[in-house]
Amino acid sequence: MSSFKDLIVYKKAFSLSMEIFEVSKGFPKEEKYALTDQVRRSSRSVCANIGEAYRKRRYPAHFISKLTDSDAENSETQVWIDFAFACKYIDENTSISFIQRSEEVGRLINHMIANPEKYL
């Protein structure tokens, strides 16, 4: 594997982040510096931390540390999705889809954390 962009987890996280970006364009203007910004930042950070982890894979502890950061950002994204649903900015189907996809990303990240030797 030559790049973190080849990782399935990166591709799935990036796709989810881009879809969140598109949907969040419809959030109210008063949420621009609150919910909209937060959900975009955390979902993008999942991807960024995967990229950083991949570059640190020579050092297992650093690799795992960056992956745990990515996992934490993924969990934060789920919280913001819950808020978006509770505020009626997204419908139930969108919320469920986003959460399910985020959970899949979390499982893939946790597989990497549990099996770092496969990526070193």
**What domains are there in the chain, each with its CATH number?**
4-118 (1.20.1440.60)
Mean pLDDT of the chain: 97
Residue 120 has what pLDDT? 84
Spatial contact of 63 and 118, defined as CB atoms under 8 Å apart? no
Which pTM does this prediction carry? 0.95
- CA dist 23 to 17, 38, 52, 99, Å? 10, 14, 27, 14
What confidence tens digit (pLDDT) does each residue in 63-105 have? Answer: 999 999 999 999 999 999 999 999 999 999 999 999 999 999 9
Q: Is the dihedral of CA 15, 27, 102, 38 positive or negative?
A: positive
CA distance 24 to 37: 9
Query: Using 50, 70 and 90 to split pLDDT, how confident is the model at 1?
Result: low
What confidence tens digit (pLDDT) does each residue in 44-64 have? Answer: 999 999 999 999 999 999 999
How many beta carbons lie within 10 A of that of residue 70, not counting itself?
A: 27
What confidence tens digit (pLDDT) does each residue in 16-45 have? Answer: 999 999 999 999 999 999 999 999 999 999
